[in-house]
Structure 1
Amino acid sequence: MSWAGSASDARVARAPRALSTFDHLQIASLWFALFAQWMTVVPVLVPDQIAWLLGPHAVMKEGAAGSVIAAGALVALVVSPIAGALSDRCVSRKGRRRPYLIIGTFGTALALLWLASFGYRGSIVVYSIAFLHLQFWWNWVSGPYAGLVPDVVPKTERNRASAWLNVMTVIGIVGGNALLIALYSPHRLYPVVATFIGLTFACLWLTIRGAREPAVHTPRERFDARAFARSFYLDPRLHRNFYWVLTTRFFSNMGVWSVFTFMLYYLQDVIGVSRPVNVLNVLLGAGTVLAIPTSLLGARLADRHGTVAVVRATSWIMAGAVIGYMLLALRPSLAMVVPVALVFSAAYGTYQSVDWALALEVLPDGASAGKDMGIWNVSMVLPQIVGPAVTGWMLSWVRTLAGAGSAYIVSFAIAAGWFVLAAGFVSRIRLADPTPPD
C-alpha cells in the first residue's frame, strides 16, 4: 500500500453510482459478519470464559469481565479512527478501503483461533491479551469499512443504506446467537469460531463485489505524520452538529453497555436462571428478530419526522425498559424479563436504523470519511471502556455490601439516566426539516 499526502489528495475518481437493493445487501454483508461476532463474543463468550477461568462463583467476576472488555474497547478507541484515516490516504487501483478490509479479516481469523484455545483453565492475563489482539483486528476492518459506505453510497440513498446496515446488524446478531446455541460450550470453542471465520470471509467477498470501489488517481507522496495527527482535530465551531451527534451517541451507548455486558450475570444471580447462556441467547435472538420490522419502521418515521425525533423518542423508551429491569430485581420473574427485553430491543432496533443516517448527515468532509466515521465510532467504543469497567466494579462492590439485587438496582438506575441524557442532548442537533413524502 502507498499513501497520498492528505485525504483530500486521495479523492475517488468518480461520484458513487446508483445502487440496487442487492447492491445494498452486498455492501452491508461485512457488517453482518462483524456483528455476528461482536454481539456474541463480547456479551456472552468473554464473560462466560472469564467465569470459567476464575470460577463460576468468583465474587469479582463482574469486575474482571468489565475490565477486560473495557481494555479491548480502549484498543478499538485508538485503532478504528487511525485505520480509517490511513485508508483515506491509501492509493490503490482496487480502492482505498479494500487492502484494510482484506488484511483485517485475515488478522481477525487468527485472533479468533487464539481466543478459542482457552477452556476451563488458563491465565486471565494471557486471555486478556488474546482479546485485545482480536479487538485490534476487528477495528482495523471496521474503521475503513465505515468510510467505505459514504464512498460508494450516493447521498440520496444514505437513509436506505442506513436501514439496510441495521437490518444486517440485526440478522448478524440473530445468526451469531443461533450459532452459539448450536455449537458453543466453554471447552469446545473451535466449531463456532471456525464458522465465524468462514462466514466473515464469505461476507468480505460479497462486500468487495458489491461496493466496486472506484480507483484513486493521485500522485504518491511522502507521508506527513504531523499533518496526519493534525487532521484529527475538527473545529467545534464549524462542526457543532457533528459533536452533538458524538455526545448523544456516547450517552446512548453508555446506557446500552452498562446493561448489556452484565445481562448474563443478572439472569443468573438476580433472576435465578440455571442456564443463563441459553436464556440470554434466546432473548437476544427474539429481540433482534423483533428489531427487523422496527428498523424498517424507524426509517419511515425518520423520513416523516426526522432522525433527531426518532433518536429522542427511542432514548426515552429504552430508559423506561431499563427501569423495568430495575424493578424486576425487587421481584424476580423470568416471565416478566421477556416483555421488558422485547420493548428494549424494539426501541434499540429503531434507534439503530437511523444511527448511520444521522452521522452521514453531519459528516464534516467526504474526502476524510474514514477518519470522521472512525471518530464517530469512538462515541460507541468509549462507553465500552467506561461503562463495563465502572459498572462492573460498582456491581462487585455493592454486591459484597448489600447483595446482587441491590447492586443491579443501582446499576440499572444509572443506566436509565444515561438514556435520559441522550434524549436531552439530541435535541441540540439542528438539521434541515424533513420533507414529507408525497
Structure 2
Amino acid sequence: MSTPTATVATEDRSPAASKGPVFVAGLAIAQLGLFMALFAPIMIGMAIKAGSIAQTDTELTTIVGNVLGYGAIGAFLGNSLFGRLSDRSRSRFGMRRPYMIAGVLVMAGAFFMIAVAADVWMLALGWFVAQFGANAAYGPFTATLADQLPEKQHARVSALIGIMQNVAIFAATWIASLLSSNILAMFMVPAVIGVIAVVAYAFVLPDKVQREKPEPFRFGMLAKTFWVNPVKYPDFGFAWWSRFLVIAANMLFITFRFPYVMNRMGVPAEEVPAVVSQGVLWYTITLIASGYIAGWLSDRIGRRKVFVFASSAIFAVGTYMLLHIDSVGQFYLVEAFIGIGYGIYMSIDLALVLQILPNTKERGKDLGVFNIANALPSSLAPFIGAWLLALGATGGMPNYELLLIAAALAALAGAFIILPIKKVK
C-alpha cells in the first residue's frame, strides 16, 4: 500500500512550480465532497428533520434557524484553531493532512447523531460537532492552496474551487431530495462522500513536514488564533467583511429556500424538493459558466476588485427580485440570475485574498481567520434569518419580505466594502 508523500517545509513555505492536473483534481474533488456533506442538511435535510418535530410552519423555520445557528461556535473554533495548529504541526504525516482526515471523520459521526436525534437539543449538539469537525478539516485544507500553488495559478484554481463549492450545493440538494424518505441515508450518504473525497485528496497532497521547532506557545497566541489586526492589515479586514456580508446574504436565502418555495410560493409540499432541485440546477449552470469565464478574464486583465464588486451587486439585485415573483418559472429565472453573480464572486474573491495574506509563515491561521467569514454566516445567518422571519409574521406566514431585503442590503454592503483594498487592483 502506498503512503502519502511529504516534503520538508522551507522557512518561508513558498509555493514552487505549478501543480499538475492530479493535484488540482484532488483539490476540486475534496472541495466538492466536503461541501456536499455540509449543504445536504442546510438545503433540505434539516428542514425535513425539523418538520418531524415542529407543529407549525413558523416553528419549523425557528427550529431550523436556531439549530443551524448553534453551529456558528463550532465553525468559529474549528477553523482558526486547527488552521493554527496545522501551521505548528511537526507530524511525520504532514502539516495539514492529519487534521483534514480527523476533522471529516468527526463530522461524519456528528451527522449520524443528527439523523437519529429525537429532539431539538440533540439536533443542535449534532450540528455544533459537525461544524466543528468540518471546519477543523477545512482550515488546514484551505491552507494547502497557499502552501502549494504559485500566484499564477491562484485565479484559475480559485475559480475551480468556487465552482465546486456551488456544484456541491446542487449535488447536495439533489441527493437530499432523492433520499428524503430515508432520514439516515439523507444525512449519511453525503457525509460518506465527503469523507472519501477529503481522504483521497489527503493521499495525493504533497504535504509539507515541518522540521524546525515552532516558536514556543504563549497564551497570547490563543487570542491571536482568531484574529488578524484590521488596522495593521486593512486590506485583509476589508476582504474579510466583504466575504462575511456576501456569504450571509447567500445563506439568508438558501437556508430558507425550501420553506420559501412551500410557504410563500404556495408549491405543494410533495413538489417542493423537485422545484428546489430544479432551481438550484439553473443556479448552478449559470454559476459554472460565469465562474469559469470570470476566472479566465481576471487572470487575463490582472484585475480582481471590479469582479468582486460587480458580482456582489448582481447578487443583491437578484435577491431583491425574489420579492416580486409569482410563478415557478420566474423563480427559475431569478435563480439563474443570482447564479451569475455568485459564480463570479466565488471564483475571484479567494484569488484576491490569497494575494493579501498578512504572514506567509501563518497561512493556515490567517486563512482560518478568513474562513470564519465563510463559516460563521453559514451558521449565524440561519439564526438571524429565523428571527427576521418571525418578526412581523402574520397568520403563521413567516416574513420573507424582511428576510430578502436584509439579504439584498448585506450583499450590496459587501460590494462597496471591497473598494478600499489597495494591494490588489
TM-score by length of 2: 0.91
Please give the secondary structure, in 1, of the residue aligned with 2:53: helix
CA 16–208 in structure 1, closer or farther in 2 if over 3 Å, else same: farther
Aligned to 2:413: 421
Q: Check whether the contact 1:26–1:209 (CA below 8 A) recurs between aligned residues.
A: no
Partners of 1:351 and 1:13 in 2: CA distance: 28
Query: Alpha carbons of 1:137 and 1:412: their partners in 2 closer, same or farther (altered >3 Å)?
Result: same
CA distance 1:168–1:310, change in 2 (3 Å): same
The alpha carbon displacement at 1:409 in A equals 1.6
2:322 maps to 1:325: yes
Q: Which amino acid aligns with 1:98?
A: R
Q: Distance in 1 between matches of 2:33 and 2:131?
A: 15
Q: Mean Cα displacement is larger for which, 123-132 or 216-225? A: 216-225
Higher alpha-carbon deviation: 296-305 or 417-426 = 296-305
Q: How does 1:326-345 map to 2 (within 5 A)?
A: 326-328=323-325, 332-345=326-339
3-state DSSP class of the match of 1:266? helix
Q: 1:222 to 1:318 in 2, by over 3 A?
A: closer
Which contiguous aligned blocks of 4+ residues in structure 1 show a shift greater than 6 angstroms?
none
Matched to 2:223, the amino acid is A
Contact 1:312 1:423 survives alignment (8 Å)? yes
Give the partner amino acid of 2:134: W
The 5 Å alignment of 1:50-129 reads 50-55=50-55, 57-118=56-117, 122-129=118-125
1:300 aligns with 2:296: yes
Distance 2:416 2:102 in 1: 40
Aligned length: 414
Matched, 1:209 2:203: yes
CA deviations over 1:10-66 (Å, ceiling 9, x no partner)? 8577743421133211122211111112222112111221122113x3432222211
Q: How does 1:215-364 map to 2 (within 5 A)?
A: 215-219=209-213, 223-230=217-224, 232-274=226-268, 275-303=271-299, 304=301, 306-328=303-325, 332-364=326-358
- Contact residue 10 and residue 367 of structure 1 kept, 8 A: no
1:194–1:12 CA distance, 2 compared to 1 (3 A)? farther
Aligned-pair CA distance for 1:232: 4.5
Show the counterpart of 2:6: none
TM-score normalised according to structure 1 size: 0.88
Paired position in structure 1 for 2:142: 146
C-alpha change, 1:264 and 1:15, in structure 2 (3 Å) is closer
Measure the CA separation in 2 of the matches of 1:347 and 1:147: 26
How far apart are the structure 2 equivalents of 1:243 and 1:411? 26
Q: Which whole-Å CA distance do the structure 1 matches of 2:225 and 2:78 have between them?
A: 15
8 Å contact 1:24–1:210 — kept in the other structure?
no
Deviation at 1:376, TM superposition (A): 0.4
Cα deviation digits, residues 283-319 of structure 1 (max 9, x gap): 1133213321111011023222611101111111111
Query: Comparing 423-432 with 192-201, which one deviates more in the overlay?
Result: 192-201
CA distance in 2, matches of 1:432, 1:352: 17
State whether residues 37 and 194 of structure 2, in contact with CA within 8 Å, keep that contact through their aligned partners in structure 1: no
- Percent identical among aligned pairs is 22
Give the letter for the 2:412 counterpart.
V
In the other structure, the counterpart of 2:34 is 34
Partner Cα distance (1:204, 1:415) in 2: 31
Deviations 1:369-405 (A, max 9, x none): 111111101112332344222221221231137x637
Contact 1:80 1:374 in 2 (8 A): yes
Cα drift, residue 233 of structure 1? 4.2
Give 2:312's aligned amino acid.
Answer: S
Distance in 2 of aligned mates of 1:87 and 1:194: 27
Cα gap change, 1:389 to 1:178, in 2 (>3 Å):
closer
| Secondary structure, aligned partner of 1:214 | strand
Which residue does the alignment assign to 2:4?
none
Report the residue type matching 1:284 in the other structure.
V
Question: Take 1:58 and 1:177, find their aligned partners in 2: how far apart are those partners?
Answer: 21
**Counterparts of 1:180 and 1:280, CA distance in 2:** 11
Which runs of 5 or more structure 2 residues have no equivalent in the other structure? 1-8
Deviation at residue 270 of structure 1 after TM alignment:
0.7
* 2:282–2:335 CA contact under 8 A, matched in 1: no
SS in 1 for 2:94: coil
- Work out whether residues 102 and 204 of structure 1, in 8 Å CA contact, stay in contact via their aligned partners in 2: yes
Query: What is the distance in 2 between the residues matched to 1:350 and 1:220?
Result: 38
User: d(CA) in 1 for partners of 2:91 and 2:310?
Assistant: 43
**Counterpart contact for 1:62–1:393, Cα < 8 Å:** no
- Is the alpha carbon distance of 1:423 and 1:100 closer, same or farther for their aligned partners in structure 2, counting shifts above 3 Å? same
C-alpha distance in 1 between matches for 2:188 and 2:62:
29
In 2, Cα distance between equivalents of 1:335 and 1:290: 16
Aligned mates of 2:328, 2:278 — CA distance in 1: 12
Once residues 241 and 216 of structure 2 are traced to their aligned partners in structure 1, the CA distance between those partners, rounded to angstroms, is 35
Offset, 1:81? 0.6
CA-CA distance at 1:222 after TM superposition: 5.4
- In structure 2, the CA distance between the partners of 1:233 and 1:422, relative to structure 1 (3 Å rule), is closer
Asked if the contact 2:30/2:198 (under 8 Å) is kept, the reply is yes
Q: 2:423 matched to which residue of 1? A: 431
- 1:264, 1:84 → 2: CA distance? 33
Q: Taking structure 1 as reference, are residues 181 and 230 closer, same or farther at Cα in structure 2, changes over 3 Å only?
A: closer
In structure 2, give the amino acid aligned to 1:404. M
Q: Does 1:157 align with 2:153?
A: yes
Paired with 1:95 and 1:14, the residues of 2 have a C-alpha distance of: 16
